[in-house]
Structure 1
Amino acid sequence: MQVSDPMPRVLSETDVADFRERLCEAAERLFAERGPDAVTMRQLAAELGVSPMTPYRYFEDKDDILAAVRANGFNRFAEALERAREGAVGAKARGSAVGEAYVTFALDHPHSYKLMFDFNQPHVEKYPELMAAGRRAQKTMTGYIEDALAEGLMRGDPEQIGLMFWAAIHGAVILELAGMLPPGGARQLYHGLDATLMRGMRPE
């Protein structure tokens, strides 16, 4: 089959954004299924039916694509959790909404979730957008803890507590994604863990 490059020689901003998005969608799936090391730029080009050199017009190399895919995932994840927190009233309701949004995002977007948390990006300092997106995502796991501290529902360091809750929900999600929990098991397990952690951190 002949491979063609459908993109014009002179690219508009819309052309560039559209192709980058399509390439990232294909890369996200292949990276998650096979692992980044097993995917080549030629394979990514073939997924879109373009010439092998076309992806290099939009990205420096495969690591650049991986960084863009992961940054996009972190930003969509953070947006979902931020929206959940903003839509609830009261610290307890906000915490519950964030937890529900976390599980929902992870199970609805397993490829994104796997790339976000299962892979280390080499030379991450080269990708400021990825670093910013990662910080934004981490902030979502301390924001609702700060709400609970402000309302006197718990005590302690918000970053450390946020990490504990994050570890609990991440572990539950990974077990379900791996088939070690039945459908719905991650949400059920997290609810139990959440209640237990909350009781242990209530002020005396």
Structure 2
Amino acid sequence: MPRYLTEQDIADFRAELCRVATERFARFGYEGVTMRQLAEALGCSPKTPYRYFKDKADILATVRAEAFARFADALEAAAAEGEGPLDRARCVGDAYLRFADEHPHAYRIMFEIDHPIGDEHPDLLRESRRAHSFVTQQAEDMVKAGLIDADPLLFGLSMWAATHGLVMLKRAGMLDHGPDIGKLAGYHGALMFKGALVPPKKKGGKK
């Protein structure tokens, strides 16, 4: 007679399946992972994962949504520690680099998996948008505070692109003999901030 599965049993299996899937997707990409391989890694029947998820795409969407949620939570917590828009932006940047370093598999499945994010997976769409909007929110806050004169979306996305680029360079070993990634990020951020400073006349001086 089959053992009755409690809600905790189901939650534990889903969590372990997501953990294994995150690691496999990060290492081999979406196309390099099969449901059978996931079942083998978990030591269960090939049909078992289908009792918990519709298909491989459903698993990927679930683990990506979880990754984006953890990422956004980390950025929000860091921002709460900052004093003023500029300090919050610095705290968020530090948290971004720290998350990428401490959670490499989560970072890879968020940004290195070539798989669409659409309405068919609302949790993933919501969490990815939350992370996206929070990264660019720092630029919007600096504009509102009169610290920079720039399109906040372009400024925020440019900062994001530069930070992501540094993460990828570090992963490729291209920064092994160069400056610390945090120092490089701070240098680039200072240059962008300096280039976008509000001219004195826009702060209330005579034109």
TM-score (norm 1): 0.90
**Which runs of no fewer than 5 residues in structure 1 stay unpaired?**
1-7
Task: Please identify, of 118-127 and 50-59, the stretch whose mean Cα deviation from structure 2 is larger.
Answer: 118-127
Query: Which residue does the alignment assign to 1:104?
Result: 98
**Counterpart in the other structure of 1:165:** 159
Question: Stretches of 4+ moved more than 4 A in 1?
Answer: none
Partner of 2:197: 202
Distance 2:9 2:82 in 1: 38
Aligned to 1:44, what secondary structure does the other structure show?
Answer: helix
Match of 1:115 in 2: 109
Distance in 2, matches of 1:44 and 1:30, equals 8
What amino acid does structure 2 have at the position aligned with 1:106? A
User: Is the Cα–Cα contact under 8 Å of residues 154 and 198 in structure 1 kept in the other structure?
Assistant: yes
On the 8 A contact 1:175/1:186 being kept in 2, the answer is no
CA distance in 2, matches of 1:122, 1:168: 23
- In the alignment, the residues of structure 2 paired with residue 85 and residue 78 of structure 1 have an alpha-carbon distance, to the nearest angstrom, of 11
Instruction: Report the counterpart of residue 64 of structure 1 in structure 2.
Output: 58
Cα distance between partner residues in 1 of 2:134 and 2:78: 10
Q: Which moved more, 1:72-81 or 1:36-45?
A: 36-45
Q: Quick one: distance in 2 between partners of 1:69 and 1:187?
A: 28
Structure 2: tracts of 5 or more residues without a match: 200-207
Tell me, what secondary structure is at the counterpart of 2:53?
A: coil
Following superposition of structure 1 onto structure 2, how do residues 1-204 of structure 1 map, counting pairs within 5 Å? 10-122=4-116, 124-182=118-176, 185-204=180-199
8 Å CA contact 1:85–1:98 kept in 2: the answer is yes
Aligned pair in 2 of structure 1 residues 163, 123: CA closer, same or farther (>3 Å)?
A: closer
* Structure 2 CA distance for aligned equivalents of residues 187 and 202 of structure 1: 22
Letter in 2 for 1:33: R
